[in-house]
Structure 1
């Protein structure tokens, strides 16, 4: 028979050209449980990835980019899963207002943008990662990592940041102690440490550069949101 994916002739259970299985099993309860177990499995799964990124983020991400891409969860999947965890935790425990706040009486596009950021900080954090990546590329330009590889780094790092905020938010929701400011500090320190370690952990200057890349990334993200709001308001008025 011929492969249904690439039309190559197949005599085995798998296509020798594209690897597609000849006879797909039906999707049932067992299939869904297996897929969930695959994602959550400690060895090369989400839990394993979290452990590796908490203990040695720089080296693990470098290994992912240059040596082995099967040890960690795919970065896009990782940032989506961690952002979903953050969003669900925030919706249930309502902890975002503890460290993200914006108020403006008048109605404007800028106000609407910042209210969206305040209510969807998990997704806004992903967008902010693009600005941090651009500043990282500038500060670490002597290293031969392109912007897409830096974005992979930021997917992993920002994903852990979302988990840090989620854990602190859940603890705050259960204990009613206001600790989200500490979450912001821990997340900031982790991000600076992870970025600096990624480039060369033995150099203190790399952590200083990572610090400014993070700060400037946040500032330019905020400035871009303000300018976008002003531009939208001008277009609407005219």
Structure 2
């Protein structure tokens, strides 16, 4: 008989009857890493499925995630980090990041905006974290202004993670088109984001 390494319960099968931990963990190898990546990206309950659901019925899917079923969609923090990473890669590859968040060069404005320039540079280099931090502030103010609704701060934050993730995908889509056609589409991308 083996004791569970997670909760200490006696295990008589392949899994712990209390916490579900496997009796013997497999070693981390290339197959394990591949499986983890597939788990995040696979279509059923993965990132592609989440994107499809958030395009077809965003309000209903987020409402279902908050109140009914959290296993259908990718976890919101993972979603916003992955989508922000995708946007960063696309914007960097097509060289459109300077147009979407233009940082101020402190040397040309006689060091008046050094802090602002540093903040914009950090935002430009860390979209995923910046989106989460902005989401915290937006969730706070949304909760304050819409306190008559029965959503708490964290439920609003979850909603914002999904919305901001989809926003990053839309900006990424327009960045690809802009990079290929060399036309400025920022206005259209922003309008589509507001409509969404």
Q: Is TM-score (shorter-chain normalized) higher than 0.5?
A: yes
Check conservation: 2:85, 2:127, Cα contact below 8 A: no
1:123 Cα deviation from its structure 2 partner: 3.7
What's 1:87 paired with? 88
Give yes or no for the alignment of 1:100 onto 2:101: yes
Check conservation: 1:98, 1:181, Cα contact below 8 A: no
For 2:99 and 2:116, the matched residues in 1 are separated by 21
Give yes or no for the alignment of 1:111 onto 2:120: no
Aligned residues: 190
For 2:131 and 2:67, the matched residues in 1 are separated by 26
What's 1:231 paired with? none
What's 1:136 paired with? 142
Distance 1:95 1:145, change over 3 A: same
Q: Which runs of 5+ in 2 are unaligned?
A: none
What's 1:29 paired with? 30
Check conservation: 2:101, 2:120, Cα contact below 8 A: no
1:152 Cα deviation from its structure 2 partner: 0.5
Q: TM-score, normalised by structure 1?
A: 0.74
Give yes or no for the alignment of 1:46 onto 2:50: no
Give yes or no for the alignment of 1:13 onto 2:19: no
Distance 1:2 1:121, change over 3 A: closer
Aligned pairs (5 A) from 1:1-238: 1-103=2-104, 104=106, 105-107=109-111, 108-190=114-196
Check conservation: 2:80, 2:131, Cα contact below 8 A: no
Check conservation: 1:8, 1:15, Cα contact below 8 A: yes
1:64 Cα deviation from its structure 2 partner: 0.8
Provide the secondary structure at the position in 2 that maps to 1:152. Answer: helix
What's 1:199 paired with? none
* Higher RCO (CA < 8 A, seq sep 6+): 1
1:81 Cα deviation from its structure 2 partner: 0.8
